[in-house]
Amino acid sequence: MERLKVLLHINEASRWPALLTGAANLVNDVGPEKIAIEVVANGEAVTVFANFGQGAAEAASGAVLRGEMERLAGVGVDFVLCRNALAMYSVPGHCLPSFARVVPAGITEIIRKQLQGYAYVKP
Amino acid sequence: MERLKVLLHINEASRWPALLTGAANLVNDVGPEKIAIEVVANGEAVTVFANFGQGAAEAASGAVLRGEMERLAGVGVDFVLCRNALAMYSVPGHCLPSFARVVPAGITEIIRKQLQGYAYVKP
Amino acid sequence: MERLKVLLHINEASRWPALLTGAANLVNDVGPEKIAIEVVANGEAVTVFANFGQGAAEAASGAVLRGEMERLAGVGVDFVLCRNALAMYSVPGHCLPSFARVVPAGITEIIRKQLQGYAYVKP
């Protein structure tokens, strides 16, 4: 059976918990081998990666998010970041997690994936 | 002629008025017999159903929403709620309106409907 | 080569900067001749057009938005406004920019475009 394919779009940092909960529910519901999940983060959503490298409370909440992202990456979830957004919000390259992939423009990636049969969901 | 098919996704309680207005506009614009509308509520959006069973001001606004939902259900709009979200937000089962249907994971429902040709709109 | 086609949906005025940045990034990334972008504004997002005709600070920020919209319209971006929303928020017709087109219901337009192969993105 072909995998279900979904593109999860996030452009506001406050939506990361909802997005990660949605991705985890989906993996639990259909099984990791039956789903292909790509997360595309652009706009202000990428600022959460800057927090990974600094601060106190922000570092703590950033670490919780990163932990859950790593767990999901380990079961096959693909994390894609928009280079335009990283530049606009001055997120340093050394802050990016190794499991994330950078594309020139997140919005183009979102369109191309839909052409490839991915459903679009914005958590 | 085949019906237009649309999946309306809501995950924030504050968006219910916009969603219900959108659904009503759509029914008015194309006619109830030419449209298939499925509303999928997950995340914090399901908390509005808890309010249906309690409180004063919340019960009042909840009753207005429920009245409009009932009217739309009466012209064929399908209301689908995410079981994961109902559990996460502790919405008691006796609070759920009879016209609503519960699925194990709202996000899976959203993807499957798009595979069946439903457009995705997030009001 | 066929153009990429995308429908950008906006229903909150606060999202206009994100939407216009996304559209500009997309045009830059793939080239104006290889992309078809339609923006559909409904709900509270249309109030930004009322501000074009009045006020001081609002007129200033409205003018910045209108300038960027005009630039994007000049490279082929289509701006479509929902008549239901314009009526609900009492936006006077004389405030509407000449490059914008009005449809009876924005939500119907969003569905029809997806049927025509447009990807859906909500910035």
- How far from chain centre, in Å, is Cα A101? 10
Phi and psi angles of residue C115, each rounded to the nearest 5 degrees, phi first: -65, -25
Q: If you measure CA to CA, which chain A residue comes closest to C7?
A: A111
The pLDDT score that the predictor gives to residue B84 is: 98
Phi and psi angles of residue C13, each rounded to the nearest 5 degrees, phi first: -60, -35
* Percentage of chain C lying above the pLDDT 90 cut: 86
Q: How far is C60 from chain A (nearest CA, A)?
A: 23
Q: Which of C10, C88, C109, C111 to mutate to test the interface with B (most CBs of B within 10 A)?
A: C111
Q: Is the pLDDT of residue C7 over 60?
A: yes
Which band of pLDDT confidence, cut at 50, 70 and 90, is reported for residue A42? very high
C51 vs B75: CA distance, rounded Å: 37
Q: Which of B9, B21, B25 to mutate to test the interface with C (most CBs of C within 10 A)?
A: B25
Question: What is the 3-class SS of C80-102, one letter each residue?
Answer: EEEHHHHHHCCCCHHHCCCCEEE
Q: Is the pLDDT of residue C100 over 60?
A: yes
A120, C123: Cβ pair inside 8 Å?
A: no
In the sheet with B35-41, reading across from the earlier edge strand, the strands are B100-103, B78-82, B35-41, B4-10, B119-121
CA distances B26 to A114, A120, B2, B21, B95, Å, are 24, 21, 16, 9, 28
Mean pLDDT, rounded, for A43-70: 83
The pLDDT score that the predictor gives to residue A53 is: 53
Closest CA to A119 of B103, C121, B80, C112: C121
* Percentage of chain A lying above the pLDDT 70 cut: 92
Q: Is the pLDDT of residue C59 over 80?
A: no
The pLDDT score that the predictor gives to residue C24 is: 98
The pLDDT score that the predictor gives to residue B6 is: 98
Which band of pLDDT confidence, cut at 50, 70 and 90, is reported for residue C63? confident
C43, B26: Cβ pair inside 8 Å?
A: no
* Interface predicted TM-score of the whole assembly (ipTM), two decimals: 0.93
Q: What residue has token string 């009503």?
A: B24
Q: If you measure CA to CA, which chain A residue comes closest to B115?
A: A119
User: CB contact, 8 Å: B114 with chain C?
Assistant: no
Strands C35-41 and B35-41, sheet pairing: unpaired
Please state the pTM of the whole predicted model: 0.94
Q: Are the C-beta atoms of residues A59 and A39 closer than 8 Å to each other?
A: no
C7 vs C119: CA distance, rounded Å: 6
B119, C114: Cβ pair inside 8 Å?
A: yes
B108, A22: Cβ pair inside 8 Å?
A: no
Q: Is the pLDDT of residue B7 over 70?
A: yes
User: CB contact, 8 Å: B100 with chain C?
Assistant: no
User: What is the distance between the terminal CA atoms of chain A, rounded to a whole angstrom?
Assistant: 26
Mean pLDDT, rounded, for A94-109: 96
The pLDDT score that the predictor gives to residue B53 is: 54
A22, B104: Cβ pair inside 8 Å?
A: no
How many beta carbons lie within 10 A of that of residue C113, not counting itself?
A: 22
Across the interface, which of C11, C108, C114 has its CB nearest the CB of B30?
A: C108
- How far from chain centre, in Å, is Cα B5? 15
User: Which carries the bigger pLDDT value, residue B59 or residue A119?
Assistant: A119
Handedness of CA A87, A89, A90, A95 (dihedral sign): negative
Mean pLDDT, rounded, for B83-95: 96
- pLDDT tens for each residue of B32-49: 999 999 999 999 999 999
* Token couple for B1: 């002629």
Average pLDDT along chain B = 93
Which band of pLDDT confidence, cut at 50, 70 and 90, is reported for residue B55? low
Q: Is the pLDDT of residue A55 over 70?
A: no
Mean pLDDT, rounded, for A20-43: 97
User: Which carries the bigger pLDDT value, residue A58 or residue C114?
Assistant: C114
The least confident of A14-18, A31-35, B15-19, C48-52 is C48-52
User: CB contact, 8 Å: A111 with chain C?
Assistant: yes
- pLDDT tens for each residue of B107-119: 999 999 999 999 9
Please report the number of interchain residue pairs, chain B to chain C, with beta-carbon separation below 8 angstroms: 49
* Token couple for C53: 């005709």
Mean pLDDT, rounded, for C18-32: 97
The pLDDT score that the predictor gives to residue B2 is: 84
Mean pLDDT, rounded, for A6-27: 97
User: CB contact, 8 Å: C88 with chain B?
Assistant: yes
User: CB contact, 8 Å: A87 with chain C?
Assistant: no
Q: Is the pLDDT of residue A20 over 80?
A: yes
Residues 15-34 of C with CB under 8 A from A: 18, 21-22, 25-26, 28-30
* Percentage of chain B lying above the pLDDT 90 cut: 86
The pLDDT score that the predictor gives to residue A2 is: 84
The pLDDT score that the predictor gives to residue A61 is: 78
